[in-house]
Amino acid sequence: MDLEPRLLTVSAPGTAVGAVLVLHGGAARRGAMRVSPAQLSVLRMIPIARLAARIGRGRLAVFRLLNARRGWDTDHTPVHDTHWALDQLAARLGRALPTCLIGHSLGGRAAILSADRPEVRSVAALAPWVYPTDAPEHVDRRSFLFVHGSADRIASPERSAALARRLAPRADVAYVTVAGAKHALLSGGLRVDRLAAEFASATLLGSSASPVLERALAGERWITV
């Protein structure tokens, strides 16, 4: 069975000055199982990737990563795939561009753990499945946006909040709680897809953003919507 990561192009304009890499989640299955482009955890990220390309207005190259295998295999984790994808981005675009990582669930964990790559400027971690110790060392001058639903029963909001607190002394960190939202972040009082896409554009291009994101970028650490 071919268990190799795959990088899918959403938008790769020649005028791009920044890049966005979108990382999916998804639980493991019995044995090493290939990621399907049709699995829900992958489909969940398509609207975010398309929005990031649209908001980037030809200045952002946007790609989606399909991991080598489902879940978090400790012998070959999604972090390995993320590093591979960042190398591929530099090769395809001719150089390493300032990059925002957007990840959901285990993809959020992979994004956070890859934040010490030199080209990474920002990370949007959506309902990240993390441990409080998942903090890379070199995250100075990085921006982190955590978004977690208060009703998430799959990934712990308490653990992601603890990780945000651990990162906060060394990076710009904002934590948005979406009241009543579950793990998919498709409910509640906030359009999470747009928030993530706007965060990528704001941190890479200096673009304007919606009121909630403006509060986060202005330094407000804990926001509930």
pTM for the complete prediction? 0.95
Percent residues over pLDDT 90 in the chain: 84
99 backbone dihedrals φ, ψ, rounded to 5°:
-130, 145
pLDDT of 15-65, one tens digit each? 999 999 999 998 776 667 888 888 899 999 999 999 999 999 999 999 999
Domains of the chain: 6-224 (3.40.50.1820)
Question: From residue 2, how far is each of 35, 38, 77, 128, 192 by CA, in Å?
Answer: 10, 17, 16, 27, 33
Query: 113-139: per-residue pLDDT in tens?
Result: 999 999 999 999 999 999 999 999 999
Confidence (pLDDT) at 30? 63
Q: What is the pLDDT averaged over residues 70-99?
A: 94
d(CA 190, CA 110) in angstroms, rounded, equals 24
